[in-house]
């Protein structure tokens, strides 16, 4: 793991500002698993429908919505709708998109063609993508990210209010093992709060 001195940490707002300096569209990737969300990323007020009932309704339609063909169609539609939205806004209007899991990805893979790729392909706009998933704890039994990332940088994260970001282009070679370029990310945010609730 690289030393603290070799990394240039930035507050989340600074990362977003850099994104808008480079592109008119910034995509932020958030973590979710079913109805669970990472608290550090956003607070969601649930309606009075119980979580169990929401999950039951979601599962009812899941089999037909989970095919790769339907997923790629949906991703394409999302990308095209975003392009239409941009075309209806005044020129050079900045647009911040909040994307769940891998919808933001600018690179296709394993038959999946995500919304970020579709958007970039059909609009010729290279969005600036910020990944917020890297330190999220999807599996409570897996402490790899806690050990490898959160704990070594806990002081730096605390200095930035618990969440701080790094530009992918500035990462030292020791971070190559994490394959950040795989999805086409431009920046990542790490946090001290990583539980899904």
pLDDT tier for residue 5 given thresholds of 50, 70 and 90: low
Give the DSSP per-residue string, the chain: ---GGG---B-HHHHHHHHHHH-SEEEEEE-EETTEEBTTT------SS-HHHHHHHHHHHHHHH-SHHHHHHHHHHHHHHHHHHHHTSPTT--EEEEEETTTT-SS-BTTB--HHHHHHHHH----EEEE--TT-BSSTT--HHIIIIITTTHHHHHHTTTEEEEEGGG--GGGGGG-GGGGT-SEEEEES--BB-
* 17-53 residue pLDDT tens: 999 999 999 998 776 666 666 655 443 333 445 666 6
* 62-103 residue pLDDT tens: 666 678 888 899 899 999 999 999 999 998 899 998 887 788
Q: Please give the residue that has the higher pLDDT: either 75 or 197.
A: 75
Q: What is the pTM of this model?
A: 0.79
Domain ranges of the chain: 4-45+73-191
**pLDDT for res 14:** 93
* 169-191 residue pLDDT tens: 998 777 777 777 776 899 988 88
* 99-118 residue pLDDT tens: 877 888 888 988 999 999 99
């Amino acid at each position: 793991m690289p030393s603290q001195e070799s990394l240039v940490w930035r507050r989340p707002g600074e990362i977003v500002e850099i994104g808008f300096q480079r592109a008119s569209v910034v995509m932020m990737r958030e973590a979710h698993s079913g109805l669970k969300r990472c608290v550090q990323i956003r607070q969601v007020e649930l309606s009075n429908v119980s979580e169990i009932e929401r999950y039951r309704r979601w599962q009812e339609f899941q089999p037909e919505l989970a095919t790769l063909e339907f997923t790629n169609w949906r991703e394409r539609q999302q990308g095209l709708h975003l392009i239409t939205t941009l075309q209806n806004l005044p020129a050079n209007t900045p647009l911040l998109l909040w994307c769940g899991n891998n919808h933001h990805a600018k690179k296709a893979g394993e038959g999946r063609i995500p919304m970020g790729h579709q958007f970039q392909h059909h609009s010729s706009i290279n969005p600036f993508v910020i990944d917020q998933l890297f330190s999220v704890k999807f599996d409570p039994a897996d402490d790899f990210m806690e050990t490898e990332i959160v704990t070594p940088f806990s002081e730096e994260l605390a200095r930035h209010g618990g969440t701080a970001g790094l530009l992918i282009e500035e990462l030292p070679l020791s971070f190559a093992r994490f394959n950040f370029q795989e999805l086409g990310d431009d920046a990542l945010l790490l946090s001290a709060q990583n539980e899904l609730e």
